[in-house]
Each structure stands twice: as C-alpha cells, then as structure tokens.
C-alpha cells in the first residue's frame, strides 16, 4: 500500500469521525438549555401556584402566559429541591417538560434561589 493511499484513508476516517462528533456534541450540550424550548421538550419559568403531593402535580403561573400544570414521575430530575413535596407556593422555578396525551410530564424542575433583601 503506498503512502498516498494511507493518507487518503486516514483523511476519510478523520472526516467521518469529525462528522459523528459534530452531530453528537450539540445534542448532549443542548440537554435542558436555559430558556429554550425544542422539539424534545418545552421550557417555562414561573412561580409555583400550587403543589399536590398526592397527585404528584404542580401548577406554575408564568409572568406572561397561561398557568401550566406539570405531572412529576420517577424520572423527573430535581435541582434545588429533592422532591415535589419540598416545593412551596410562591417559589420561582424553571421547568423543562414534555406535553403528552395525559398531561405535561416534568423532565427537570429547577428551584431558583430566593432573592431577599
């Protein structure tokens, strides 16, 4: 095998590897981007209006837009709290969720720190 063939094969291999990495890197980095709704999930920021630990739901009031009820399941990720029972009315949260036939399924719930004086 001559050196030119080796270099050509190596270049093709590196180009293919680059294309694979180029496509997968943004997907992992885009997981739950701040303030972005995608085809995979929707995003909202608002204030907790009510929490029902028994029903595993919470209702969020947005600054602009309708109230949204989110269902929590065992796969829901929490940050700033450990479980739905730790959330209280009037706390500001960010939520990434997926709309489905039986309601909005929470993917990630992030409780923002209280901004007090």
Q: pLDDT digit string (tens) for 11-59?
A: 777 776 665 655 543 433 345 666 777 778 899 999 999 999 999 999 9
The whole model's pTM is what?
A: 0.68
Superfamily of domain 42-111: Copper binding periplasmic protein CusF (2.40.50.320)
Give the DSSP H or E segment for 11: helix 3-29
pLDDT digits (tens, 9 = 90+) for 96-114: 999 998 899 999 999 988 7
pLDDT score, position 63: 85
- Examine the pLDDT at 115 and tell me if it is beyond 90: no
- Examine the pLDDT at 65 and tell me if it is beyond 90: no
Segments making up each domain of the chain, as ranges = 1-30, 42-111
**Contact residues for 88 (Cβ-Cβ < 8 A; gap 6+):** 48, 51
Distance, CA of 109 to CA of 111 (rounded, Å): 7
Lowest mean pLDDT among 4-13, 45-54, 64-73: 4-13
């Amino acid at each position: 095998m001559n050196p030119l063939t080796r270099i050509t094969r190596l270049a093709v291999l590196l180009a293919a590897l680059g294309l694979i990495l180029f496509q997968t890197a943004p997907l992992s980095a885009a997981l739950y981007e701040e303030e972005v709704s995608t085809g995979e999930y929707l995003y909202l920021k608002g204030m907790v209006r009510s929490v029902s630990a028994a029903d595993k739901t919470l209702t969020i009031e947005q600054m602009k837009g309708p109230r949204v009820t989110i269902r929590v399941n065992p796969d829901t990720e929490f940050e700033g709290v450990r479980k739905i029972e730790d959330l209280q009315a009037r706390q500001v949260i960010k939520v990434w969720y997926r709309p489905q036939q039986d309601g909005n399924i929470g993917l990630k719930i992030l409780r923002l720190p209280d901004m007090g004086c």
